[in-house]
Structure 1
């Protein structure tokens, strides 16, 4: 245990956040020190500086899509790798100071993402409320006692275990099946072994703003039978019309079809960032047609070596 106490993991705090719930799924993190941080930049700084061996970060929500702050940070901080992904069901409760009832609520403190995911419930039950943004869902509840500006807060279920609040309403999220995807980010260079149910994450810059450039990038995957489960554009920021794409590809870098696609990407654009290959959280095996099996790619290379008079690998 003495070694475990010297190992630290970072997560977006404070205690009680969905990010902490994701970190609780990491077997290696159990019995270690956990550092609550305020934002993605601070979490990555912990990893880069060595204060933490890894950081748990939200990267995608099933309702709102990709988390732009995480995607932009991954593009700008070098030598980071995603070593695992974790899914957390997301729902919310409306809480207030003891003695408050729903009719008293005029102003609500909430993280903007949580607020957006509860909009229909709020419009139906509190149509004339005001909104004060919070830095996190847990911070929204804590602010009820710190500033007193809000009458209620949107927070994660179970928040009453950490703060002296009463729950005015439960399950107020608009989508009962909402899920947030979190990734564990480290400076570990070693790629986890492939399992057959893997995902590869990349950031790719279009080399130039011209007709057909995006199609050429996508063809690197399509012609090798690699499905994309996420593709989202983010502005590079140096000029209008310049974009990078955050991509999740089905498969592992040790799969021949994925490796060949990466080679094609690198020829297409020098701005390719490999974020990692890691097991899918849902453990669903990747489906693809037999013409993209490893032995097909290996056989094609051996055929070319034979034409060149070279021995097979």
Structure 2
């Protein structure tokens, strides 16, 4: 009697990650840095709203979105979406150098270029190079960095060349006309990986906490009162950006990145202070910094100091003498 062959154990379901597509974008380059995303399903989308909707509605497990650029500042569409779409949590950040290439149709030459397709932001970041290399050129705005190049191939663009990310050359047959044409060699875009709400990852010592905070009302010193919640606890802010709430002129919310983790005593204390102060505090997440730089702070703001002060107060309430060391 022969035994039945063993049934193979079912393979675990692959995870899905949404990113601003198509292939070859800076966002795809950021997603390539996520170890757990390798070998999984990558879902290209057309905009930030679609990426976050994928997460909220369960089509994707997480989405990679750009949130800040070292040259142009915060990405307002991403910041506004995180402020208005509930149920999201940042679980990681990734840095991508902003490099641009000039590409043309196969066989094209730089000397023949007079009309350049480019996303307006990319065009602005390459204007000095273009002025020097192609002083008589004209610009055709494109919907995205990849769309500028795709228009050359599908015939939808009259441009002779396009400004695009270097990754475009890995996916399409294009002529490389010039490399490293960006005017700022240190330009970097910061991306965040966003999932549905989950508990924060454990502390690493090199963490960042992201928040969105609204002021209670418009009065002199209101912003200072909010900032004091961090300053009096020794917490450094690496990002402070204002975005209009939209319900009236002069009403703003503040996008904040603070050095540290919600499990740090000083950060937890600051969040409680914000909660008492602000009508709306959105906790976006505590996660490892992309640069893995350890957060340094004076000894007077260590966790032990906060714990000792809290124990001291509890002792006073219970009737213990408070003047003993």
Q: Same fold (TM over 0.5)?
A: yes
Mark the CA change 1:33 to 1:2 in structure 2 (over 3 Å): closer, same or farther. farther
Work out the number of aligned pairs and report it: 310
CA-atom RMSD, angstroms?
1.4
Which secondary structure does the structure 2 equivalent of 1:41 belong to?
A: helix
- Per the alignment, residue 40 of structure 1 pairs with 48
Which secondary structure does the structure 1 equivalent of 2:200 belong to?
A: coil
Counterpart CA distance in 1 for 2:297 and 2:222 is 26
Cα-to-partner distance string for 1:83-139 (whole Å, 9 max, x where unaligned): 000111111000111232223222221122212211211122223322222232112
Q: Which one of 21, 25, 30 corresponds to residue 13 of structure 1?
A: 21
Mark the CA change 1:53 to 1:158 in structure 2 (over 3 Å): closer, same or farther. closer
- Per the alignment, residue 142 of structure 1 pairs with 150
Q: Does 2:118 match 1:110? A: yes
Q: In the TM superposition, what is the alpha-carbon distance from 1:61 to its structure 2 partner?
A: 1.1
- Per the alignment, residue 280 of structure 1 pairs with 289
- Per the alignment, residue 23 of structure 1 pairs with 31
Q: Does 2:92 match 1:99? A: no
Mark the CA change 1:224 to 1:126 in structure 2 (over 3 Å): closer, same or farther. same
- The gaps in structure 2 that reach 5 residues or longer are 1-9, 321-325
Which secondary structure does the structure 1 equivalent of 2:273 belong to?
A: helix
Counterpart CA distance in 2 for 1:110 and 1:2 is 43
- Per the alignment, residue 176 of structure 1 pairs with 185
Q: In the TM superposition, what is the alpha-carbon distance from 1:199 to its structure 2 partner?
A: 0.1
Runs of 4+ in structure 1 off by over 3 angstroms are none
CA contact (8 A) 1:59 1:66 kept: yes
- The gaps in structure 1 that reach 5 residues or longer are none
Q: Which moved more, 1:298-307 or 1:241-250?
A: 298-307
Which secondary structure does the structure 2 equivalent of 1:150 belong to?
A: coil
CA contact (8 A) 2:152 2:160 kept: yes
- Per the alignment, residue 69 of structure 1 pairs with 77
TM-score, with normalisation over the residues of structure 1? 0.95
Question: Which has the higher Rg, Structure 1 or Structure 2?
Answer: 2
CA contact (8 A) 2:19 2:64 kept: yes
Q: Which one of 162, 166, 173 corresponds to residue 175 of structure 2?
A: 166
- Per the alignment, residue 207 of structure 1 pairs with 216
Cα-to-partner distance string for 1:230-276 (whole Å, 9 max, x where unaligned): 11111111111101111000000000111111111111112110000
Q: Which moved more, 1:127-136 or 1:178-187?
A: 127-136
TM-score, with normalisation over the residues of structure 2? 0.92
CA contact (8 A) 2:215 2:279 kept: no
- Per the alignment, residue 226 of structure 1 pairs with 235
Q: Which moved more, 1:58-67 or 1:143-152?
A: 143-152
Q: In the TM superposition, what is the alpha-carbon distance from 1:310 to its structure 2 partner?
A: 7.3
Q: Does 2:94 match 1:83? A: no
Q: Which one of 267, 273, 280 corresponds to residue 276 of structure 2?
A: 267
CA contact (8 A) 1:199 1:278 kept: yes
